[in-house]
Structure 1
């Protein structure tokens, strides 16, 4: 009894505080969600073309064409400010004017040659603040249609960080009111264009076409997140009900009881247990909510420390969760009487891992099976691999698998005796989630949500201010691990992301609490179905309700373009249909009080 409550309490405290209702999709409140656009380079009377990724200065305020083809599309001719093949500002012709629809390239940073012709330059800081705007003004004076600045990749001109192009790159020192489009690209890529297509003067004209495909409101990553979450609550809930049903059939008080007891004695024990657990559940909910808030505050003020602690915890808990899930799957396909190869375990391993490694089948005589040990080693290695490679852009694949097994293990293990205490818990989490996402911005100095800052590490005050620094040169906050993460797979500019610079894809994330907390109710419903022989009616209804609740969450994300507390949608969509169904079937009191065995249902 004590062990079960300790595990229930432990899992709830780990999962719920930071992830009990946090769902984020990275949206743009600007025109675009990144500064990337495509550049198509062509040559007159030639079918050859090449596509490049460039950055658009006015990406927050100005739209460009969504397709490179069509009537009215601007195909800009490559031109030069003065000397052909020269991108130096000082080598311009004093009487030069551009033809219509001309794009002119210039170096982004100042060279030593340019200092002699720019008398306003006194120091490097002043240069950074005025040079680019000066160049923009010169381009506008000669009538250029657009300008493209060439960046030396990795050059450390400022002395503080190297120059890189990335998703949110732009130059804040350029006047944001100018209408002439300004683009940025790497100089080595521009040199490739000259080598492949020529300079557009000594040979046939070269044309540049800039465009950006429209982003979809709905992303494929949403579907993957939806499938992961529904799979976890559906399979985890069914597993919980099936496990409870097996225990009742065997007449065991718990999974690890050593002897059979009579059905009447078991029923009496369960009745006494329900009475004893009523105050325990009340105390559990109260203390859990207090600690939930406390841990969230620790995560807010000591985020780096708490992230590391939770990474370690997930590695440990994930090992046992993965082992249990893989062992169950293995046992389903390979029964014990067909797999009798067993090995002995040392006293230490039996003492520490007995509960996880021992087989439930008598043929192994209480000794851990070889397959169980191998699965445990595999699970531990899998979690250790994730721990040491978690900053890799593709580590989310390992993390999502670990979190799926964690959700399944928690849901099949944790039980609530009745709908009463579940409703209390769900309502507490509903209020907690709403307040932490929508209420805390009015209490923090930055005006940011505590939940968002803690779970994702984002700061709403830093998104549009200051000079943008490439992620590779800055300190990217590490996300808490109890999250499902899937990159935005439908992003039209996904191919432009340089992982060496960006370090990660922009993800859609869903907190495990958005799976675990509603999953408590779904597990309860399947337990009712198995006990009362209702043909999985309550379980199926709860899973369907959860599915629609998650869809409603995604609708809210796309409509409001901001992070949403998912539990405010998931809890009503999951709880209300169960209450309505139980009222229609006149079984509400049975579920509310926890009396739902087959014999008790027949008495009503």
Structure 2
């Protein structure tokens, strides 16, 4: 699923609009509440206000501490709703409904109020009006959630003093550092692991596997037709989510649970295979999958991965800790995808990245001109539509809560987001660069250059987010950085032709060993005898991408022998002879 390919760091607010007025600029602020009984402590609550009516001070010390008038049973829509003495030097608290915000604030200002708080049982929306109405009003008006009002009265009683202010936020939050480390680390580890496993697989994939389990997972080579079909499916799914979000979001959550448990199993399996305990196998049986007699520890691992995924699915809306589990599952899912999906040529890499580059920019920057609300389809889907009845969020993102000390962290935008696609798409190019590095023995120069370029592109994305204060299509910056850097390295090393076509992978390799992934062509029988005893188990895969993937491994016991008359340029000890163990 690629609907979150550019789900950008969307902590910036989306724009709201009214059909009869100019667009409403909304901002989050705070209302500081204190009891009139002399209790020194106070508490901040989130409000949403329109600065075009009246600005709020940035510092709490400069805000006026005024008496709160509890008129929450009144909607303040007619002069008869005004109290006999008016609202002299008060901030009245009234209910939302039955009339416009302008009518409420005009009556409040006429009654001597110094501000107006409107209690809303629904999602907070910015109070608005036309240009003439903005010029008439000189007091701030803001919306407060009904839940916060109940909490306010429960903690401080009904005799309250309040101060309205809007503290400034840092341009960038510390959580961007965590997102940066997770994203770059996942791309680097996934690209290295995928490249190492792929190269190793090309040399040992014809080894006879007499054991009941296969240690190597198959890979899928991406073709241009697959890329086109994939992008069409992405566009269709994104549009369907935009119009039928409340119905399809649960489908996406279910897919994420299944895919993330598979990814977690794939990442932990190499480590579990190295454990000395629980190596016994299930008895002989005719059940599906179990007839292969899997090890007990692998069954326990599968149950553990499913349990972790189910725990996240049940507690996914717990903002305090569920994001940690979602990020961990998301990273393992990305590593699994980078290991499974393989781009065979730089031509395929360029096609995929450029098509998704256009897709990303279109759905973030162009769709606001096509939607009635004026909101980006990508940002709307990634953050959840404002009118969603379920209030569910798509899980296909890395999310980290705000870590600064600003009271605005209490408002309804505490997370910064980065879509899985912003990791997977450039990560596939990094994996290709690592495979090419190994084959041409370039000391990982392509891999290092593309990984550094990804990090720079992500930093540029953060800077653009801070400058524009709106959600950004991350691929707008990541694709040029990674593609141009990889191409420049190939030009510098005079290997652009081989890098473009992937021909460096086939250099000096016998044709029988250079069969496409998934090919049904039978391997060439070895000339020498196989030293591997029948039924001997293949050694377990290491816990992480190994060094032996960086340099093609020497011939292993049981691997195909080198045909006579052909040179196979494999790094390894000079004593490794055809048909004999290294």
Same fold (TM over 0.5): yes
Query: What is aligned with 1:66?
Result: 58
Tell me, in whole angstroms, the C-alpha distance in 2 between the residues paired with 1:598 and 1:373.
Answer: 38
* Deviation at residue 600 of structure 1 after TM alignment: 5.0
Query: Structure 1 residues 554 and 109, CA, compared in 2 at 3 Å: closer, same or farther?
Result: closer
CA deviations on 1:377-415 (whole Å, 9 max, x unpaired) are 111011122223333434333222211111000102221
* Deviation at residue 523 of structure 1 after TM alignment: 0.8
CA deviations on 1:61-83 (whole Å, 9 max, x unpaired) are 543332234xxx355465999xx
Q: Tell me, which stretches of 5 or more residues in structure 1 are unaligned? A: 1-13, 82-87, 111-123, 141-145, 152-162, 200-206, 260-272, 355-365, 463-473
Of 504, 524, 527, which aligns to 2:432? 524
Residue 186, structure 1, aligned to residue 94, structure 2: no
Of 422, 425, 429, which aligns to 2:349? 422
CA deviations on 1:187-222 (whole Å, 9 max, x unpaired) are 774686579xx89xxxxxxx8654332111112232
Query: What is aligned with 1:36?
Result: 30
Residue 327, structure 1, aligned to residue 269, structure 2: yes
Of 228, 231, 241, which aligns to 2:182? 228
Q: TM-score, normalized by length of structure 1?
A: 0.68
* Deviation at residue 313 of structure 1 after TM alignment: 1.6
Tell me, in whole angstroms, the C-alpha distance in 2 between the residues paired with 1:131 and 1:167.
Answer: 16
Query: What is aligned with 1:487?
Result: 401
What secondary structure is seen at the aligned counterpart in 1 of 2:45?
strand
What secondary structure is seen at the aligned counterpart in 1 of 2:342?
coil
What secondary structure is seen at the aligned counterpart in 2 of 1:35?
strand
CA deviations on 1:151-200 (whole Å, 9 max, x unpaired) are 6xxxxxxxxxxx459765758799644223456683774686579xx89x
Query: What is aligned with 1:465?
Result: none
Of 96, 100, 111, which aligns to 1:138? 111
Contact 2:175 2:403 in 1 (8 A): yes
Q: TM-score, normalized by length of structure 2?
A: 0.70
Contact 1:234 1:522 in 2 (8 A): yes
Query: Structure 1 residues 253 and 455, CA, compared in 2 at 3 Å: closer, same or farther?
Result: farther
Aligned ranges 1:155-234 → 2 under 5 Å: 163-164=120-121, 176-177=134-135, 178-182=137-141, 186=149, 189=152, 209-234=163-188
Query: Structure 1 residues 54 and 434, CA, compared in 2 at 3 Å: closer, same or farther?
Result: closer
Aligned ranges 1:454-473 → 2 under 5 Å: 454-458=381-385
Query: Structure 1 residues 495 and 436, CA, compared in 2 at 3 Å: closer, same or farther?
Result: closer
What secondary structure is seen at the aligned counterpart in 1 of 2:167?
coil
Tell me, in whole angstroms, the C-alpha distance in 2 between the residues paired with 1:233 and 1:342.
Answer: 36
Residue 55, structure 1, aligned to residue 28, structure 2: no
Query: Structure 1 residues 47 and 447, CA, compared in 2 at 3 Å: closer, same or farther?
Result: closer
Tell me, in whole angstroms, the C-alpha distance in 2 between the residues paired with 1:80 and 1:409.
Answer: 58
Tell me, in whole angstroms, the C-alpha distance in 2 between the residues paired with 1:545 and 1:533.
Answer: 21
Tell me, in whole angstroms, the C-alpha distance in 1 between the residues paired with 2:124 and 2:319.
Answer: 15
Tell me, in whole angstroms, the C-alpha distance in 2 between the residues paired with 1:240 and 1:479.
Answer: 30
* Deviation at residue 546 of structure 1 after TM alignment: 0.6
Aligned ranges 1:421-440 → 2 under 5 Å: 421-440=348-367
CA deviations on 1:215-255 (whole Å, 9 max, x unpaired) are 11112232222222112111111111221233245x3249x
Aligned length: 480
What secondary structure is seen at the aligned counterpart in 2 of 1:484?
strand
Contact 2:53 2:141 in 1 (8 A): no
Aligned ranges 1:76-95 → 2 under 5 Å: 76=65, 78=67, 92-93=84-85
Query: What is aligned with 2:575?
Result: none
Residue 386, structure 1, aligned to residue 312, structure 2: yes
Contact 1:34 1:167 in 2 (8 A): no
Tell me, in whole angstroms, the C-alpha distance in 1 between the residues paired with 2:500 and 2:58.
Answer: 56
Query: What is aligned with 1:9?
Result: none
Query: What is aligned with 1:298?
Result: 240
Tell me, in whole angstroms, the C-alpha distance in 2 between the residues paired with 1:191 and 1:387.
Answer: 33
* Deviation at residue 537 of structure 1 after TM alignment: 1.7
Query: What is aligned with 2:194?
Result: 240
Q: Tell me, which stretches of 5 or more residues in structure 2 are unaligned? A: 16-23, 71-79, 212-218, 510-568, 571-582
Query: Structure 1 residues 480 and 57, CA, compared in 2 at 3 Å: closer, same or farther?
Result: closer
Of 250, 256, 266, which aligns to 1:308? 250
Query: What is aligned with 1:563?
Result: 471
Structure with greater helix percent? 1
Deviates more, 1:554-563 or 1:180-189: 180-189
Of 369, 387, 392, which aligns to 1:478? 392
Note the aligned Cα RMSD (angstroms): 4.2
* Deviation at residue 287 of structure 1 after TM alignment: 2.8
* Deviation at residue 572 of structure 1 after TM alignment: 0.8
Contact 1:420 1:593 in 2 (8 A): yes
Tell me, in whole angstroms, the C-alpha distance in 1 between the residues paired with 2:267 and 2:41.
Answer: 52
Contact 2:102 2:128 in 1 (8 A): no
Tell me, in whole angstroms, the C-alpha distance in 2 between the residues paired with 1:127 and 1:286.
Answer: 49
* Deviation at residue 150 of structure 1 after TM alignment: 8.7
Deviates more, 1:487-496 or 1:47-56: 47-56
* Deviation at residue 39 of structure 1 after TM alignment: 4.7
Contact 1:553 1:566 in 2 (8 A): yes
